[in-house]
Amino acid sequence: MLDCRLDEEHEELRRTVAKFARDVVAPAIAEHYENHTFPYELVREMGRLGLFGLPFPEEYGGMGGGYPALCVALEELARVDSSVAITLEAGVSLGAMPVFRFGTEEQRRRWLPRLCAGQALAAFGLTEPGGGSDAGATRTTARYDVTADEWVLDGTKCFITNAGTDITSLITVTAVTGTAPDGSKEISTILVPADTPGLTVGRPYSKVGWSASDTRELSFTGCRVPGANLLGQRGRGYAQFLSILDEGRIAIAALATGLAQGCVDESVRYASEREAFGRPIAANQAIAFKIADMQTRTHLARLAWRDAAGRMSRGEPFKQAAAIAKLYSSEAAVDNARQATQIHGGYGFMNEYPVARFWRDSKILEIGEGTSEIQRILIARSLGLPQPG
Query: How many helices (H) and strands (E) in the chain?
Result: 12, 10
Q: At what angle do helices 237-273 and 319-344 cross, to 10 degrees?
A: 30
- 275 is annotated as an active-site residue: no
Residue 169 CA to residue 342 CA, distance in Å, equals 42
Spatial neighbors of 224 by CB under 8 A, at least 6 apart, are: 145, 148, 150, 151, 152, 153, 196, 197, 198
Distance CA 253, CA 291 (A): 20
164 contacts: CB under 8 Å, gap ≥ 6: 201, 202, 204, 214, 216
Classify residue 120 by its DSSP letter. S
Smallest CA-to-CA distance from 245 within 163, 307, 174 is with 174
- Which of 8, 11, 369, 373 is an active site residue? 369
Burial class (CB in 10 A: 0-12, 13-18, 19+), 321: buried
Q: Which ranges of 169-236 would DSSP assign to H, the alpha helix?
A: none
Asked if residues 138 and 174 have their Cβ atoms less than 8 Å apart, the reply is yes
Alpha carbon distance 175, 244 (integer Å):
16
For 283-301, letters b (16+ CB in 10 Å) and e give eeeebeebbeebbebbeeb
Burial 223-239 (b: 16+ CB within 10 A, else e): bbbeeebbbbebbbbbe
**Active-site residue list:** 369
